């Protein structure tokens, strides 16, 4: 058995980062920018008024000025402004020649074509300097997962097509005679495939393109057939059938199909039977069947693999240090990922940690990571957590 961090290293060694593709800006949010992009213009492309008011050469309380024209956003005033003159100006309008300051409209009294600057006059010129936000040629660095804020910046830079990493195609294969799909009517000895859908959702959230394959039954022929349907995938994920029971056929069948196995077991709870390797052009990840184990392995192994495929680097799931709200007992010899809830008093680890309890996992928003043989911990002690 290898450690979690050793398993992650071996997984990262199997990852091939995916190539880039171009998508329209409207489809780029959440995607991973594949290479730096460059501003195509200066912003603002002219000195612009930051307020509605009057553009003047100088301003002081008591000054009377004659309004000689108007400058609006999208339509500049083409003349120039001299001493004793003002131009009515609106937010976003180009600042006319000669104008050094914009007096906001609240600070003047207007009478016909004349304005009087009142003693309310504030400081500041209310002008956004030319190129103040960014200049043509400035770049947005890659890789990064594009946020809505990034999208607004790219739009302002006049980048309409965005180079992003292709979404990894992930085939999800559930295995087991006992499984039926949600919505079907299970027989008396059957249960609903559940973690399959949790993993599907996690893959969507990570920016992958998951595909649900039919459930493989517990026979070599069935598993072979379903694995054969996964041939266009970048990553093939099997769920269940990965331990050593008579009906756990994934290792055998994948081996027959040529899996170069990188490892089979990881010293962790929950999730010991975890398998990976290369299967033809694809990478394969065999997850345990227990619902909680599968989801925990999804966060701890699958998510970092997807991020690495997207070019975001080979990094484990991010951890934070937080205080315990309640004491926890000593850990055994395997790294333990305990379901927990974050609160203002700190992290509360749930009493029930059985790896079949999806209700507990559903109530959790973090996993407390216990190193092997970690001693008992008191309330207030810092522990490492992974948010889920
Ligand atoms: P296995 O690794 O196939 O022995 O499965 C371990 C446990 O997980 C068994 O109780 C299975 O019924 C259950 N299980 C396997 N696959 C799934 C699945 N996709 N959804 C829910 N439970 C599963
Ligand atoms: Mg099974």
Atom 12 of ligand 1, residue of closest alpha carbon: 178
State whether the beta carbon of 288 lies less than 6 angstroms from ligand 1: yes
Of 171, 177, 240, best ligand 1 pocket probe by most atoms within 8 Å of the beta carbon: 240
Distance 177 CA to ligand 1 centre (A): 10
Domain 48-128 and domain 320-387 have a common topology: no
The residue among 356, 236, 229 whose CA lies nearest residue 291 is 356
What atom in ligand 1 is closest to the CA of residue 273? Answer: 2
* Residue ranges covered by each domain of the chain: 4-17+167-309, 20-43+133-165, 48-128, 320-387
Neighbours of 261 (CB within 10 A): 15
CA torsion 39-42-44-47 (nearest 10°) is 170
User: Looking at residue 272, what is its pLDDT?
Assistant: 84
pLDDT at site 262: 84
Give the CA-trace dihedral at 334, 335, 340, 345, to 10 degrees: 110
Range 20-43+133-165: architecture per CATH: Alpha-Beta Complex (3.90)
Among the bound ligands, name the one nearest to the CA of residue 174.
1
E strands in 5-151: 20-24, 32-33, 37-38, 48-49, 53-56, 64-71, 85-89, 101-104, 108-111, 114-117, 127-128, 139-140, 144-145
Ligand 1 within 6 A of CB of 241:
yes
State the CATH class of domain 4-17+167-309.
alpha beta
Token digits of residue 305: 């693999």
Topology of the domain covering 48-128: Molybdopterin biosynthesis moeA protein; domain 3 (2.170.190)
Phi and psi at residue 323, to the nearest 5°: -80, 150
Q: What is the DSSP string of 18-53?
A: PPEEEEEGGG-TTSEE-S-EE-SS-BSSS-EESSSE
Q: Report the top-level CATH class of 320-387.
A: mainly beta
Instruction: Determine the pLDDT at residue 132.
Output: 97
**Whole-number pLDDT of residue 304:** 98
pLDDT of residue 196: 97
pLDDT block averages, 10 residues each, the chain of length 388: 95 96 98 98 98 98 98 98 98 98 98 97 96 98 98 98 98 97 97 97 98 96 96 96 78 91 90 90 95 97 98 98 98 97 97 94 98 98 98
What integer pLDDT is reported at residue 306 of this predicted model? 98
pLDDT of residue 138: 98
């Amino acid at each position: 058995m290898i450690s979690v961090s050793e398993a992650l290293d071996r997984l990262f060694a199997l990852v091939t980062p995916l190539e880039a593709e171009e998508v329209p800006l409207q489809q780029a949010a959440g995607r991973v920018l594949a290479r730096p992009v460059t501003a195509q213009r200066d912003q603002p492309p002219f000195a612009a008024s930051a307020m509605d008011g009057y553009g003047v050469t100088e301003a002081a309380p008591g000054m009377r000025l004659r309004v000689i024209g108007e400058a609006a956003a999208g339509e500049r005033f083409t003349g120039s402004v001299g001493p004793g003159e003002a131009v009515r100006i609106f937010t976003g309008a180009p600042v006319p020649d000669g104008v050094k300051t914009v007096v906001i409209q609240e600070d003047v009294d207007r009478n016909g074509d004349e304005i009087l600057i009142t003693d309310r006059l504030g400081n500041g010129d209310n002008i956004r300097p030319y190129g103040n936000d960014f200049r043509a040629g400035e770049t947005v660095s890659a890789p990064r997962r594009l946020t809505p804020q990034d999208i607004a910046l790219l739009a302002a830079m006049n980048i309409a097509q965005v180079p992003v990493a292709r979404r990894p195609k992930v085939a999800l294969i559930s295995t087991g005679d006992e499984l039926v799909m949600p919505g079907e009517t299970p027989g008396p000895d059957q249960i609903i495939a559940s973690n399959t859908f949790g993993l599907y959702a996690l893959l969507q959230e990570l920016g992958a393109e998951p595909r649900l394959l039919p459930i493989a039954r517990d026979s070599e022929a069935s598993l072979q057939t379903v694995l054969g349907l996964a041939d266009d995938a970048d990553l093939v994920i099997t769920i269940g059938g990965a331990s050593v029971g008579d009906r756990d056929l994934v290792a055998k069948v994948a081996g027959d199909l040529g899996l170069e196995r990188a490892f089979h077991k990881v010293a962790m709870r929950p999730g010991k039977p975890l398998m990976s390797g290369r299967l033809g052009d694809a990478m394969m990840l065999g997850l345990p069947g227990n619902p909680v184990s599968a989801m925990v392995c999804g966060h701890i192994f699958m998510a970092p693999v997807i991020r690495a495929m997207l070019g975001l680097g080979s990094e484990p799931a991010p951890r934070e240090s937080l205080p315990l709200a309640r004491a926890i007992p000593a850990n055994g010899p395997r790294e333990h990922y305990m379901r927990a809830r974050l609160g203002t008093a700190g992290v509360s680890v749930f009493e029930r940690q059985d790896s079949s309890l999806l209700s507990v996992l559903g109530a959790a928003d973090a996993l407390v990571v216990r190193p092997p043989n970690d001693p008992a911990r008191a309330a207030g002690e810092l522990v490492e957590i992974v948010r889920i």
